[in-house]
Amino acid sequence: MDNKTNDDLRVRRTHKLLYSALLDLMEKQPFENITVKQICDLAMVHRTTFYTHFNDKFDLLSRALRQIADDELNFVDTFISPSEAIKEVFSVATKHKKLFSQLLSEERDSLRNLLRREMGVGIHKHLVKNTSLEENSIDIQIAIEAHIGAVLGVLNWWIENNMPIDKEDIYRKLDILTKLNSRDH
């Protein structure tokens, strides 16, 4: 392997260790109480190395969320329908329940904005393909925002209430709303 490949592998390994440490700490305590020192100690990475890669813990959180989205939320590349997007969001939320719970309950905009952006692109593609809504119209923007707002609102409720119903039931209930948005206008 050449030096560039070795460096790239080391960077990816360092990022993975730091992401993992942050997410592990967030399972145990609120984000605002977590320090860079705690993250570095758990990841076994020197603070200097941390600051070589990230500005602060907020930058690390933002990039960790982006990594989760890239790894687990495939709306843009593999988007089939809004109901498939709902399944992905709820599956990831189930897998990372404490993270989602903390971020949604603390009203952190980073997760909401990340989900909005990812979902919005896929929903837009679906609506353009399956409705008479014009690509850049106000109507399509309203439909997208209504759909995203409903999904994130229900997701927040579901997590805050300790997932009181099965995620399959949630899919079915939200699918009704999705189909209302997808009907030809």
CB atoms within 10 A of CB 179: 12
Render pLDDT for 119-146 as a digit per residue (tens, 0 to 9): 777 778 777 877 788 878 888 888 888 8
Q: Are residues 18 and 55 in the same domain?
A: yes
List of residues 6+ apart from 121 with CB closer than 8 A: 75, 76, 79
Estimate to the nearest angstrom the gap between the alpha carbon of 11 and the chain centroid. Answer: 22
Indicate whether 66 belongs to any domain.
no
Indicate whether 174 belongs to any domain.
yes
Amino acid at 145: E
Q: Report helix, strand or coil for 136.
A: coil
* Listed ranges 47-56, 98-107, 123-132, 168-177; the one with the highest mean pLDDT: 47-56
Q: How many domains does the chain have?
A: 2
Q: Are residues 157 and 178 in the same domain?
A: yes
Render pLDDT for 2-19 as a digit per residue (tens, 0 to 9): 555 556 899 999 999 999
Render pLDDT for 80-113 as a digit per residue (tens, 0 to 9): 566 777 787 888 888 888 888 777 765 556 666 7
The domain of 133 spans: 73-182
Indicate whether 87 belongs to any domain.
yes
Q: Are residues 49 and 77 in the same domain?
A: no
**pLDDT recorded at residue 172:** 85
Confidence of residue 185 (pLDDT cuts 50, 70, 90): very low
The whole-number average pLDDT for the span 154-170 is 87
Indicate whether 67 belongs to any domain.
no
Q: Are residues 97 and 175 in the same domain?
A: yes
Q: Are residues 79 and 170 in the same domain?
A: yes
Indicate whether 68 belongs to any domain.
no
**pLDDT recorded at residue 64:** 87
List of residues 6+ apart from 20 with CB closer than 8 A: 43
CATH code at 12? 1.10.10.60
Q: Are residues 86 and 176 in the same domain?
A: yes
* Long-range contacts at 86-91 (CB < 8 A, ≥ 24 apart): 86/151, 86/170, 86/171, 86/174, 86/175, 86/178, 87/167, 87/171, 89/115, 89/119, 89/151, 89/155, 90/155, 90/158, 90/167, 90/170, 90/171, 91/167
Q: Are residues 81 and 50 in the same domain?
A: no
CA distance 94 to 140: 29
